[in-house]
Structure 1
Amino acid sequence: MTESPTQHPRPLEGLRVLDMTVALAGPYGTLLLAALGAEVIKIEAPGGGDIARHNPPFYGDNGIHFGALADGDVSLSVLARARNKKSVTLDLKSEAGRELFYELVRHADIVFENSSDGVTQRLGVDYETVRAINPRIVYASVSGLGIPTLYPGVKAMDITVQALSGLMDTTGNADGPPTRVGIAISDLLAPLYAVIGIQSALLQRAITGAGQHVVVSMLESLVSLLPFEHLDVLQRNGFPARSGNRHNRLAPFGVYGTRDGHVSIAAANDDWTRLLFAAMGTPQLADDARFSGRGPRAVHAGELDDLIEQWTGAHTSAEVIAELAARGVPCVPVRTALEVLSDPEMFERGALERLEHPRAGVIDAVAGGIPIHMSAATVGLGRPAPELGDDNDEVFGTLLGLDADRLQVLREKRVI
């Protein structure tokens, strides 16, 4: 995973980010900025302040394990989320630590944080304080439940955000319970919105000369997506909140069992539906009033899906796919996560990468890449995550101009 020389620059080169984020929602946002070329300086308390450092599995002298965190072990979460970043330690609870942070603010373009409610104000590193020091700062805050929070006292974990957002109510089978989306979707979606907001604010700053506060919440990010499926109209007209592996409004559109697995069929328009019926050996269904148009098919989706699965269940996945592919009907196998995570094409295209430890090199774990391809710029993650405080001397010494004696005093006082 070494960086390769390229003729193209990274699009955000020259921008400096102070990264005060923890867990996933914030660090994923700064990871994106780092992949786009920004200099990201991750700030943690001496000893480590990111709660992700305690997430198993860990990597250490005994390889990857799920045991207790031992000296020298590093969470795979940190190895994945701190790529392309610099690491410094700084005690923001101390006056000396805050003063160093304010000096860094004078040299920065972006501050990114996702602290709990009130933390940045208590530490004196909130937007108003930072703006007074550097009016050009773009200050991004990813919150769980909004600023101010809509649910005082509630901890914003991905599962609680999914529950409050209504997303769980749309996920799972109609006759089953609300179901959590399999990945931490709110933690991953909110930083995408935040990066869009940051880049928009940078464009506006180029015109006005002033920065601004960009605020994105995990809850609002998920809620904003629900209306795209017209769930309110569907439920008022008798459709279930949860449609499982099917999508009644677009029927036939879903996952169907075969003799040896599952396939996904998306025959939403009338032409594809007729071709599907022909493949099934039941072309007359195209003239059945229940299935003759998208509206009737939505109402009778359950009956239609049963007929389709009777056909798919009598054949292998390969047979179903071949039959439908010959007719141009969208149909693919349902791949397992492990199949995808070992797909060489996904590594070639940069969507996946081999995870690398700063000392041990490439390890037996996969990390997400950056699926952005640009014709005149380089995007990607080429540096492994640094060890905690690896860049103290460069950032505090070279950038801020502190000499070796001053740095030693700061270390002895546990400021850095």
Structure 2
Amino acid sequence: MTKDRKPLDGIRVLDFTRVLAGPYATALMADLGADVIKVEAPGGDEYRHIGPFRDGESALFQTANRGKRSIVLDLRSSNDLALARDLAGRADVVVENFRPGVMAKLGLDAASLQAANPGLVYASVSGFGQGGPHAARPAYDIIVQAMSGLMDLTGEPAGQPTMVGEAMADVAGGLFAAWGIMVALFDRSRTGQGRVVDLALFDALLSMMPSAGARVLVCDADPARSGNRHALSAPFGVYPAAQGHFAVAVLNDRLFTAFCAVIGQPALRDDPRMASDESRRAHEPVLAEAIAAWAEGLTAAQAVAALSAAGVPASELASAREAWRSDQAQARGLSSPVDHPVLGQVSLPEQPVHFSGSPRGMRRAAPGLNEHGAEIRAELGM
């Protein structure tokens, strides 16, 4: 293996996507060395105009479009449309997230582009896929969270359904789109033929809910909100201390024995109501009362220290700022610095997988609008 080679070096991606799901997928590929050419309309990706802003630059755009090159093409122009087809003819991957049918009207659909470039992997990212009763429906993350059941499962049992605190449908869609593209590229290495990848955010988010799927599909159950408690296991949730809250995860009898010893309730281990994980979940209020009595004189940090010393998984609750600034995140290289012409040196997220022989970092910032237009045209001999 060549030292310091990134896994996707030499792969060219033509990226027609905007906002989050599609750009997130191609950003993951750019992190791994792919040459991602971001095609933007004259006004640019909507995320260029959505905050938070720093020195006039969108932080969201920076994170979702790191490492790419930008070219502005007006696909209503015959010249720019011809240029887009030329770029697709030289690409390994095309990714788009227009509504189904839009690319076909432009002659940029999979069938048209693969006729000229049979090895092309063509990925379409949409809210509900290229077929099905909702295929033509527009979708944003909140809509997919609402339709997938995720929102209905989030929140307190007696409270209102709650949005998850991140754009999980978009992120799940981007992740599975990147995964699908990688599978298609691997298959192409064996057959020489490209594939069409059809990814729906609805499908992706539903697939990210395996415990709910198991209960519905296998047990014909109707999952309900369980708040800060695990739906199936106990004690497995978030509990209060005298200062702060802490999370604890007990999933088997060995851990439950250790847990009972830590909280000074060894008799709970022999209580028939606590004989199995399922029974413990049914009687979780009994456990919650015992945990509250034990933790009422402790800080969250003290409770976590005691549980951790006994081998019981536990943690204080961290804020997003604390998590990103943590020693663990720094040690794992979950972000790395890039140089930006306006922002100076700024730290941006990086894809999380470590590959042997492939260094992390050494990336570039998100591009300015049409920053690489002349460069890309020159590469085409224009």
Under TM normalisation by the shorter chain, which class is it?
over 0.9
CA distance in 2, matches of 1:134, 1:161: 34
State which of 229, 232, 237 in structure 2 corresponds to 1:254.
237
Residue 359 (1) aligns with residue 359 (2): no
Question: How far apart, in 2, do the equivalents of 1:244 and 1:155 lie?
Answer: 30
Q: 1:248 to 1:110 in 2, by over 3 A?
A: closer
346, 349, 367: which one pairs with 1:386? 367
Note the alpha carbon deviations across 1:253-289, whole angstroms, 9 max, x for none. Answer: 1111111111111122112112211111111111111
Aligned to 2:38: 42
1:29-78 superposed Cα distances (whole Å, 9 cap, x missing partner): 00011111111101112232x11112112232xxxxxxxxxxxx321111
1:207 aligns with 2:190: yes
1:98-131 CA distance string (max 9 Å, x none): 1111111121110011112322122221112211
**Deviation larger for 333-342 or 24-33:** 333-342
Contact 2:91 2:120 in 1 (8 A): yes
TM-score where L is the length of structure 2: 0.93
Q: Does 1:12 align with 2:5?
A: no
2:351 to 361, 370, 384: 370
Give the one of 22, 30, 49 matched to 1:54: 49
- Conserved in 1, the CA contact under 8 Å of 2:176 and 2:199? yes
- Residue 176 of structure 1, aligned match among 147, 156, 159: 159
Asked whether the 8 Å contact 2:338–2:364 carries over to 1, the reply is: no
What is aligned with 2:170?
187
Q: TM-score, normalised by structure 1?
A: 0.86
Distance 1:142 1:379, change over 3 A: farther
Where structure 1 has 5 or more consecutive residues not aligned to the other structure, the ranges are: 1-5, 61-72, 403-416
Return the alpha-carbon distance in structure 2 between the equivalents of residues 313 and 84 of structure 1: 49
CA root-mean-square deviation: 2.1
Where does the alignment leave 5 or more consecutive residues of structure 2 unmatched?
none
2:216 paired residue number: 232
Does the 8 Å CA contact 2:129/2:135 hold for their aligned counterparts?
Answer: no
Question: Are 1:196 and 2:192 matched, yes or no?
Answer: no
Taking every aligned residue pair, what percent have the same amino acid on both sides?
41
Dislocated runs of 4+, deviation >4 Å: 233-237
| Residue of structure 2 aligned with 1:28, choices 20, 24, 44 | 24
Q: 1-side partners of 2:362 and 2:227: how far apart?
A: 36
Match of 1:157 in 2: 140
Would the aligned equivalents of 2:172 and 2:208 in 1 still touch at CA under 8 Å?
Answer: no
177-186 vs 143-152, which moves further: 143-152
Deviations 1:170-201 (A, max 9, x none): 11111111111110001001111111111111
Give the SS at the match of 2:179. Answer: helix
Alpha-carbon distance in 1 for matches of 2:206, 2:145: 9
